[in-house]
Amino acid sequence: MLTVALKPASYEIQGMLQAAESMSTSSELSYFFINLWRHLLYTEIAFSAIEAVRSQPSSVEAIGQVEDLESFLVSMNVDPQADFSARMETLIERLTLGESTTINQAAIAESLKVSNLARILTLTKRILAPQSRVSVLIDNLDKAWEPDSELTDVSRFLLSLIDASRDLERKSAQSRSGEPSVTFNTTIFLRQDIFDAIRKRVAEPDKLPIETIEWRDQELLIRVLEERYLAKRRGGRSKSGDVWKELFPQEVNGLSARDYFLWRSLPRPRDLIHFANLCLSTAINRNHSLVTQDDVATAESVYSRFAVDALIVESASEGMPVQETVLNLGGLESTILASDISVIFSELSSPDDMLEWLIRTSFLGVEVGPGEFRHVEGSAEARTHMALASRFATKRGAEPRYRIHPAFRPHLQIRDDDLHDGLVTDVTLGYPEVSHSHP
């Protein structure tokens, strides 16, 4: 299988959006975005396929097919020595440096060589092994999601990538007689908050080809950290291959280090790894051979600041005063009554929207059973669990309760008063398998 990874840089994406300002109509803007993505996808796959063939022994026929593809790309003024970033920049400059202040569809078609794109795909499939698969991974797109961006254009830009990807998969499946069958799959990684914002600007959001990546299996989540550790410790330097025995204390605040890390960090690989790295860095700076509980305490304060800052950044495009609201929750108990939330949110123009946002970003968990709190991500999950929480509260004749996630507490000076409370459990990652009582 050939894997092609695309990670546009922030300034490149902003360049695209600036070029879009010269489009006079909505149809021209859509035509520009989708064909820019098609050009970038097709050429990047082509160069990756060329590199894969040249890196291994190949027949004379295969080498000839590679040279045909290379010659065709050169005839399109695509620089074979340039990387993805340079090619993207060249395309934008080619389109925007013309004499006209506006850009029409004919100029877009000429600059992007739209009529030649299908030929690139055909020549690329010829040099790939029959029945082979090509997996295209596209990441780093959150760089376009700046607080001051025109979100309508940004959403259209990202939706055009989805359309171009589906177009690639559809065209690759239409093999002509004598043409090798090659399967193309594209995976586009988007933050949940970005996808939620895009959905609001789509006529038929239910038809978007999406799959939500959730990390509710604690064994799978912790395995990401352990596998990364083992990969870095290959070569005989690891005594046991167990990250918890070799690096971390046996327990932290009454929990095993493994369970404590799962409890403290947001259920995302990025957060878990970042927290672990902070613990290691703190221990190294203090010249400790093993991470101590004090090292973890210091590191979790830094991690908590990171988690709060990330939350504020994600809220910027929504235009809500999340920073002020979160700071107003500082110093409270970890479990909050709905009536207390109402008082704190009383001066907000849209308190219900703020509550939903804090739930769908995992800041607040909702009580879905006696003392059972669940943290979720995404608008749909938030609304579903808010309804569950409301029904549960009504059933027991009390008001709903919310729980601030442990990741945010150290920075906000919120006590972990539920850590060893047998009446409070976190069921987000399959708890209460993890014990919250002293051994």
76-126: pLDDT as tens digits:
988 888 887 788 878 877 777 655 555 778 878 888 889 999 899 889 988
Secondary structure of residue 171 in the 3-state scheme = helix
The answer, yes or no, to whether residue 436 has pLDDT greater than 60, is no
More confident: 141 or 361: 361
Distance CA 366, CA 388 (A): 9
The answer, yes or no, to whether residue 75 has pLDDT greater than 80, is yes
246-259 mean pLDDT: 92
Structure tokens at 292: 């101590």
Quote the pLDDT of residue 243. 83
The answer, yes or no, to whether residue 437 has pLDDT greater than 50, is no
Position 150 confidence tier, pLDDT thresholds 50, 70, 90: low
**Number of Cβ within a 10 Å radius of residue 209:** 10
Q: What are 278-286's contacts with CB under 8 Å, separation 24+? A: 278/302, 278/303, 279/248, 280/247, 283/247
Contact 315, 322 (CB under 8 A): yes
167-194 mean pLDDT: 79
**Letter for the amino acid at 128?**
L
Distance CA 344, CA 192 (A): 26
Q: Transcribe 184-212 into DSSP letters.
A: EEEEE---HHHHHHHHTT-S-GGGS----
User: Minimum mean pLDDT among 162-176, 287-301, 339-353, 400-414: which range?
Assistant: 162-176
Q: Transcribe 372-407 into DSSP letters.
A: EEE--BSHHHHHHHHHHHHHHHHHTTS--EEEE-GG
285-298: pLDDT as tens digits:
999 999 999 999 99
Distance CA 360, CA 383 (A): 8
Give all strands of the β-sheet with 133-138 in edge-to-edge order: 2-6, 133-138, 183-188
Quote the pLDDT of residue 146. 60
Phi, psi of 300 (to 5 degrees): -70, -25
> Tokens 């291994």 correspond to what residue?
56
- Residue 4's beta-bridge partner residues? 136
377-423: pLDDT as tens digits:
888 889 999 999 999 999 999 999 999 999 999 999 999 988 876 66
Contact 402, 335 (CB under 8 A): yes
Structure tokens at 225: 């950290």
Quote the pLDDT of residue 433. 37
- How many residues appear in the chain? 439
Position 434 confidence tier, pLDDT thresholds 50, 70, 90: very low
Highest mean pLDDT pick, 36-45, 209-218, 221-230, 296-305: 296-305
Quote the pLDDT of residue 27. 81
The answer, yes or no, to whether residue 235 has pLDDT greater than 70, is no
Structure tokens at 381: 């999950």
Position 278 confidence tier, pLDDT thresholds 50, 70, 90: very high
The answer, yes or no, to whether residue 431 has pLDDT greater than 50, is no
Distance CA 208, CA 334 (A): 37
Q: Transcribe 66-116 into DSSP letters.
A: HHHHHHHHHHTT--TTS-HHHHHHHHHHHHHSSS-SSB-HHHHHHHHTGGG
Q: Transcribe 105-166 into DSSP letters.
A: HHHHHHHHTGGGHHHHHHHHHHHSPTT-EEEEEE--GGGG--TTS-HHHHHHHHHHHHHHHH
Which helix (H) or strand (E) segment holds residue 19: the answer is: helix 10-20
Quote the pLDDT of residue 236. 45
Secondary structure of residue 426 in the 3-state scheme = strand
Structure tokens at 209: 């080809």
The answer, yes or no, to whether residue 317 has pLDDT greater than 80, is no
Position 24 confidence tier, pLDDT thresholds 50, 70, 90: low
Position 299 confidence tier, pLDDT thresholds 50, 70, 90: very high
Distance CA 378, CA 357 (A): 9
Distance CA 59, CA 404 (A): 62
Helices 351-360, 192-199: crossing angle, 10 deg rounding? 130
Best CA proximity match to 375, nearest among 342, 400, 339, 403: 403
312-332 mean pLDDT: 85
How does the average pLDDT of the chain come out, rounded? 83
Quote the pLDDT of residue 173. 76
Distance CA 293, CA 173 (A): 56
Structure tokens at 51: 């590199």
Best CA proximity match to 413, nearest among 300, 315, 278, 268: 300
